[in-house]
Structure 1
């Protein structure tokens, strides 16, 4: 018997919202910290441009998106009569924020300097380019958001959850785990406490939220051991950043940056597409956890938040986070997104975030992201039929290739000229390892969805459907939407590629076509009904 809607409005705050608030805020602070570290520390962008121009508008997108998701959560709670509805979390997207900093904004700053602009003028031009890039992605995502419901009807749950589960394991699990282990005492203690409290359901002597407790213990260890000289690798007190309020008003500076975005469109459009696909996946993830948000609404809110952030000076796009079930398990409802939006939005405008990101140790932030990655990975298996488990497992593999691409593509690990040499060194055993890894990793979420969908169709006896999916994959491969042979992951026209990369592109596309033909011929046999659970 269905539950009738309650006449009492849902509560604004519950105890679990404190856990959710700290988890979501720390996620956003860690990404802002990385953006600042990359732009100021690696590329030399003036700190005041980053903190006083880029941060406020970026934080505004988080504020607007979380306010909208809070309202959506309260509306769903009132409609269903349930008091356990968890709002969709929204924040800055880690992969594309890293990509924007390392592949777009940083190189653009160096290019502006090479053109003769002084440091500050180059910084302003870079900021305007970042604004314009966000506006382009926001418009692109707005147009695509209306296709979200159709995609969820067409793609099986194993494809939606498997692709995001692989990303969670590789990018939210492994990469932050490495950062955790850079300071083993601080990191492992923090991670262990989170597992004790959130996975093992352990108790605390005081009624303090578990995430907050682990966070406070980690920060105390980091600064206590560091100041005492007792072995915190790389410990140093950050320089104090003075508070400098800067309200994120609409700024037409993005118009000046539009022309500069053209060379970066092969990166920006896939960044936007990745968020649409990710938004579809997280909507399915929330649906599997019991909260049935309309996919189109989730996507549209996120797209408009990104657009507003770009117009007001932001440079990093927002996204609905894949950790909605994890926040639900923490006991969070709708208050945590409201608190997060207000804290990040107001803190960005007042300069508080600029100060905080300097003082939060990454060894304490990273374990929280690791936990979220573990929780999402488990959901990918728990919420799909057992017969589709192979599809989920296969969907994890492209994410691992992307993980390797992030590391081997780092100039600090492999010099660009050595990278190009390894990419082109075709031997007797086929394509070079690096070319295969990079090509598999580029477009990894869409690749994972297509692979998992094909396997689900095979398991369910829909062989011709699987062949059709493979032909779609072949077409996308030709233009670099998946398996891009551009090491940066850009899209292209296949006939514009130089010979080696064109050969790799045609090899991957031809492989999909060949397999589709073989499956098509096999489908002509008399089919035996598949075994179902």
Structure 2
């Protein structure tokens, strides 16, 4: 009988190594960047008070990272002991970037504007969306914990191209493009920081003296940014104003306990209905992190660190749940790229250091200093890297024949991207929807229905196309019938600007009240449901009288 290597006197887990320095800056700056993104978008785009975000939402959000990375650090020690290996790398955990954009632009931001339109003052509206975010975080956490025991089944049922397609859409449209607008407001700093981080982390150049790519990008970006600002001041140009300068930055332990007020809030029927309204957005985002966590566990196993998948998912679910209990609004997730952290030479010290730094930033209040000092063009390039890597990874992890499905999933997200500036222009013009020319009305309405529930739409479209590519007509027909049911209640393709769900007759009634019914007459939930049902029937007819692709169909693109 072979002795357990962990009992050998020669075994020693090298839990801290020089590579942890590189790995720490990559993981830490990614998390800090997401926290800055949350605070910046909610405050600058939607007008949520910055003080409320920093003192209510950030502490609990950071607590989720603290908890999750501490547990993953402990798991690395356990795996090293079990395997008798000293080179085990901890699984990285952090704030989920796609769901950050999803929560800000699809949930918290619109809910804040709606609350303000109902007459709530600024702070009360912020408290309202805080409770809404908490509710969705708690439900997402419970959902993930349930998925922890079903991780294998989820992987079999949901085609990878379907879920990765929605993830790629979020990565390109939300994670990469929208921050790019912020970055390129200052092209000197933005271009330098962006291409330095891509040179180091994507092209894998080694910076002088082994400087971490994320840290090098941050230093160069900050130096260039402040050089331009100081140069402009010397030439007599005023530096751009910053609403963040008015923040009171002082170190103090902050750990909100919102549950008493939350229970009073959720007890109101209108608030509970609002939670249900946004649940079709929150749960697909949570499901994406679950499947992403499964992929992360598998990628870790390919380099020798075979963590139990169910435990990995369970920890991220628990971290999300704990964050929500203390006021967090962004869910935690295992980070794609464990092999990259291992290649850097990271062990367990980098996740421990990230847990303490990010947790301390939120709980002790020094995140406010970081938020004010570090310019967005210097730190947001890490998000460009993340978005590009997620998109590239999506194509690497599906068969070539499924590439079209991945591309198809991005189209509804593009409609959402086009709708953002269109709505901004409409609001700035001071005109109502009814005052616009008919052709503009039809364009806006079509963008509205295409972007409504675009994450779920992308998942459904890609899943159906994968089934068709693989010759599974019945599975494709079932997917289209499911889409018909979702469209009937506005979960996808809601014709209302708010994206509200409801019975088809109630949605049509709201369209009439808003003066949009004539424009949307052929785009009501009845029409979308009928369209998907017709496609389902068409697929079944093709199965009966057509010819499905055979198992020997080559996995290569056809000539166009």
Q: Would you call these one fold, judging by a TM-score over 0.5?
A: yes
Counterpart residue number, 1:355: 369
The match for 2:496 among 482, 486, 506 is 486
Task: Choose 360-369 or 87-96, whichever is displaced more.
Answer: 87-96
Taking the TM superposition and a 5 Å limit, the aligned residue runs for 1:383-402 are: 383-402=397-416
Kept in 1, the 8 Å contact 2:222–2:378? The answer is yes
Alignment RMSD: 3.6
Counterpart residue number, 1:275: 285
Counterpart residue number, 1:516: 536
Say if 2:211 is the partner of 1:238. Answer: no
Counterpart residue number, 1:200: 203
The match for 2:350 among 333, 336, 340 is 336
Say if 2:175 is the partner of 1:169. Answer: no
Q: Secondary structure at the match of 2:493?
A: coil
Taking the TM superposition and a 5 Å limit, the aligned residue runs for 1:405-416 are: 405-409=419-423, 411=424, 414-415=427-428
Instruction: Measure how far apart 1:192 and its partner are.
Output: 1.2
Counterpart residue number, 2:21: 18
Structure index of larger Rg: 2
Q: 1:246, 1:478 → 2: CA distance?
A: 48
Q: 2:24, 2:425 → 1: CA distance?
A: 35
Q: Secondary structure at the match of 1:497?
A: helix
The TM-score, its normalising length taken from structure 1, stands at 0.84
The TM-score, its normalising length taken from structure 2, stands at 0.81
Say if 2:464 is the partner of 1:433. Answer: no
Instruction: Measure how far apart 1:516 and its partner are.
Output: 1.3
Q: How many residues align?
A: 522
Kept in 1, the 8 Å contact 2:296–2:334? The answer is no
Q: 1:406, 1:167 → 2: CA distance?
A: 14
Counterpart residue number, 2:485: 475
Q: 2:203, 2:216 → 1: CA distance?
A: 15
Q: Secondary structure at the match of 2:95?
A: strand
Say if 2:550 is the partner of 1:529. Answer: yes
Q: 1:298, 1:402 → 2: CA distance?
A: 32
Instruction: Measure how far apart 1:491 and its partner are.
Output: 2.8
Q: Secondary structure at the match of 2:498?
A: coil
Q: 1:31, 1:470 → 2: CA distance?
A: 35
Structure 2: state its 5+ residue gaps: 510-516, 556-560
Say if 2:462 is the partner of 1:452. Answer: yes
Say if 2:322 is the partner of 1:308. Answer: yes
Structure 1: state its 5+ residue gaps: none
Q: Secondary structure at the match of 2:380?
A: helix
Kept in 2, the 8 Å contact 1:267–1:488? The answer is no
Q: 2:263, 2:81 → 1: CA distance?
A: 42
The match for 1:63 among 59, 63, 66 is 66
Go from structure 1 to structure 2 and tell me whether the alpha carbon gap of 1:316 and 1:416 turns closer, same or farther (over 3 Å shift): farther
Go from structure 1 to structure 2 and tell me whether the alpha carbon gap of 1:509 and 1:13 turns closer, same or farther (over 3 Å shift): farther
Kept in 2, the 8 Å contact 1:63–1:344? The answer is yes
Q: 1:315, 1:96 → 2: CA distance?
A: 11
Go from structure 1 to structure 2 and tell me whether the alpha carbon gap of 1:67 and 1:439 turns closer, same or farther (over 3 Å shift): farther
